[in-house]
Amino acid sequence: MKLIVNVDGGARGNPGPAAIGVVVQDADGNILEEHAEKIGQATNNVAEYRALIHGIERAIELGADELELRGDSELVVKQMLGQYKVKHPDMKPLNARAKESLAKIPVWSISHVRREQNADADRLVNEALDS
């Protein structure tokens, strides 16, 4: 089963109060679920990784054998693709955990999308931060 997962993370202040937003869709674009969650104090980049990990792990739980990940953090996407090195000590374990989880999915891709193409996940981050 192919799933499409949009992820976003954000912090108000950097670091500051942070949250994640995840939207899971089937291959036809039907939204299967949305998740918004406060994650405490974090940087934007840590929040982006936490959203990515949640999205991957949720896709595994739902039985995905093909996963298309979309996020608006160029840094996280390029680090996951190996195009950028992961230098920050807070992000190294998050990157490793995301890659370990992805190893459980036979076919996957990750792409950077513009913020407008990630509006639902962004909305969920803001809803969580506002609640």
DSSP state letters, 65-116 = SEEEEEES-HHHHHHHTTSS----TTTHHHHHHHHHHHTTSSEEEEEE--GG
pLDDT at 55: 98
Residue 34 structural domain: 2-130
What is the average pLDDT value for the chain, to the nearest integer?
Answer: 97
Bin 107: left if φ > 0, else alpha if -120 < ψ < 50, else beta: beta
Take residue 28 and report the two structure tokens written for it.
Answer: 């036809």
User: What are the angstrom distances between the C-alpha of 70 and each of 13, 40, 56, 87?
Assistant: 24, 23, 11, 22
Mean pLDDT of 19-36: 98
Contacts of 111 (CB under 8 A, 6+ apart): 68, 69, 70, 71, 77
Question: pLDDT tier at 41 (50, 70, 90 boundaries)?
Answer: very high
Predicted TM-score of the model (pTM):
0.97
Quote the pLDDT of residue 84.
97
- Reported as a pLDDT band with limits 50, 70 and 90, residue 9 is very high
What is the domain-level CATH number for residue 71? 3.30.420.10
Total residues belonging to the chain? 131
Instruction: Give strand pairing partners of 23.
Output: 6, 34
pLDDT of residue 25: 98
pLDDT digits (tens, 9 = 90+) for 62-81: 999 999 999 999 999 999 99
Domain count along the chain: 1
pLDDT band at 108 (very low <50, low <70, confident <90, very high): very high
The β-bridge partners of 107 are 66
